[in-house]
Structure 1
């Protein structure tokens, strides 16, 4: 029995040294010091040993029990001290941290607002691939190889005739190839151009282009559509100004300015004291484009327009650097 006492002592000391929390300590107490624990079972066996051995064995058992109880008390104080030390670093008077609430990117907000306005005017939303072929991106839009208009759209080439689209106009071609008039769509999406990154230009940006083709579509309808858009986007007091311009896929073509909604057209820093802000380009679809998609240019007419989402957002929110949209700085994004 003496060997059993020594074995229990050794196991107890080994197990209590690895105890790390109050739960483990309580389990160890029940196992060794409980009313049905290992040490109590040794006391029960004491009545079975010869009388002459009982005093010596009884002394060893009492010493084991005292040792176990003492080590238990020490461990209990040690665990409580560690817990108190950890809790002392918690300052309950500090205000709690608010969870960050996600929100939509300012470009997403602007794009959704643009789409909502045109959908309300009867336009459908169409999409197409961002990796395009040269034919849909240029040739079918009346921009043949070596045409000077290609110089305005410095392009990322993946292969000889495969590129990252430079505008969303290819979507218009793909829709007209698959659908007969009437066609009334907007084509929002990302586009890519190999431009030097600066406060006013970036290697990728977002466009929304529109197309309406049917019998008897006129420039007056184009002006009315864009005026309705501008009033909903920038306020009911804005005015439009159309300036003659050139686009290979429209004829006649125009640049469209909106009266500055910041100063009311009087002149300010935003409009560079001119009273007008350029927002988009537009025009009547060139008959040559209809030939590429199999439309009868004698029967159908149409108009097209295109705007940069970043441009609209910068004007609307007074942002002076396009790079802010892509830097993921919460100090900027939290404002929207």
Structure 2
């Protein structure tokens, strides 16, 4: 495993376990026994950070993470990152970073996780109906109370971060970033680089497109997120599969898999301090080592960019995942 520091959190594994799929919501459900075994297997493999959120299964992911880590001696427990600033009703999610909501959420998360503090606390999405500085100051108060170690943001644009910084520092920005989703490189990465705000990347395998297992005949059922992801619809799906095929050829020429190449590319980005690996069964972690212990050189990076440019004429971003900007008046 490779490790890095995130503010006061020392030697955090550069691959963290993401638990959106473990929560089941928008991933076709989950099995608690498999989920807990996955968490324990991740720790065996050197992962020492788990990323979760209240909205992942509307509390289910946090509950499962809490049950799993309570089975581990306190001295061996991983760093726990979770999120704040979303509320939900009837399965629909809305942004809400009003102070009362923030204070309620931290208590709810601590209870579900069964811990006395959160190591890294992300504001899940920017709530532009609320005052950013006031939200930041509320979180800073919670940090001084010992309920949070480090305050971070997620999916924040430069203007959002600029306002948030008026109330507190930012330990990291968690963003969608992978070989197929590189929109943050235009404005967000330069802003974060200049202010030394590291990136925690989610969606490393672009919802399976970079796993090496996706085929043209794959279908998605129920509430699977990929049913509404434009990348998985014609003609984009064919373009991305063609690019994945050529990237797979490159990866094997280098002695690695497509999965290893995609994750290695991400870990080699200078501002990425950690990448989330979403798994809900232990066997989905067994290829972890394919991304470790090697690096891509300049020629490799140019070849990757050429493959993307030739095969994906109309790149599609992850914007479809964003919750609505406005919440109902009665929430």
Provide the TM-score with structure 1 as the length reference: 0.22
- Give the structure with the larger helix fraction: 1
Larger Rg: 1
Provide the TM-score with structure 2 as the length reference: 0.22
Higher RCO (C-alpha under 8 Å, 6+ residues apart): 2
